[in-house]
Amino acid sequence: MWNNSAVVKVPVLKLKEYPSEEAETVDEVLYGMEVLVRERTIKGWASVETSYGYRGCVRTEGLEAHEWNVRRWQKLSKYVVVSPSADVFEVPGYKNPYLFSLPRGSLVAASDQEGQAGWNQVRLSDGRGAYMRKGQLRPAAALHCPAEQEEKLRESLVRTALTYLYTPYRWGGKTPWGIDCSGLCSMVYLLHGIAINRDAKIKKGYPVKEIPVCRVKPGDLLYFPGHMALYIGGLNYIHSTGRTGQDGVVINSLNHMAEDYREDLASTITAAGSIF
């Protein structure tokens, strides 16, 4: 049964430019995230819009769209996966077989049932109960940081970005299994409850506003032609690059004397952006 809203029920759902496996992957929507189903396209595909305003086509087999399940999901408080990957168990215990693994940023629902020591009992998108390790989850409501705690939020954004170091580059990706430049920056912010534009540009309607490059601070964003990075301080920035020899999430410098200086990027900065 199709409704206007649906919930992703697979670990990673590819968002395609048009309804075909051969189409470019423009984004990845993670487990537990809600999408707005705009229309059914060809058999097995739907045109959707994410909660952060990104549009594309997905395979319908990756969506939980039963109205009762979606409404129940919307009412439940959520946990977000904060470890690079987290296994989901039917029965708690490290030696037990796991059902599947979820990447960082995925959402599961909190259960009103007490889990065993070191474990959280959770609800999956189809209503099933399951267990996950406590240390790999954080209440989604705790991700939001008050505006007055700017310095704390800046530091946290940088720490989160650094957890993606050495993640391989993947076009359209946004998980520790593979990520692109805008996927990295958007996920870092999303893990703090802030939705920025998924593309490598400042866009009206999102919280990032352009600032002079000379005023950039840790946690702010740097923009280049078709590329973006997160500034971490000391003239250094972290980004995901497909450049031969780096191929993934690395740190580079704006200091022309530094060993990791990239002139091709430092000389082509188009803008800096900040939510502060």
| Distance separating alpha carbons of residues 202 and 269, to the nearest angstrom | 13
The letter for the amino acid at 152 is K
Q: Is 256 a catalytic residue?
A: no
Question: Cβ distance 74 to 84 under 8 Å?
Answer: no
| Distance separating alpha carbons of residues 102 and 6, to the nearest angstrom | 18
Q: Is 239 a catalytic residue?
A: yes
The letter for the amino acid at 243 is R
Q: Is 227 a catalytic residue?
A: yes
**Which residue in 127, 37, 15 sits closest to 74, CA to CA?**
127
Structure tokens at 38: 């705009």
Catalytic residue selected from 57, 214, 239, 256: 239
Tell me the sheet residues that pair with 5: 36
Is the alpha carbon torsion for 102, 106, 109, 113 positive or negative? positive
Question: Cβ distance 124 to 109 under 8 Å?
Answer: yes
Question: Cβ distance 28 to 13 under 8 Å?
Answer: yes
| Long-range contacts at 55-58 (CB < 8 A, ≥ 24 apart) | 56/15, 56/16, 56/17, 56/26, 56/27, 57/15, 57/16, 57/17, 57/18, 57/19, 57/23, 58/13, 58/14, 58/15, 58/16, 58/29
Instruction: Name the maximum alpha-carbon separation found in the chain.
Output: 60
Catalytic residue selected from 192, 214, 227, 256: 227
Catalytic residue selected from 57, 181, 192, 256: 181
Point out the residues that are catalytic.
181, 227, 239
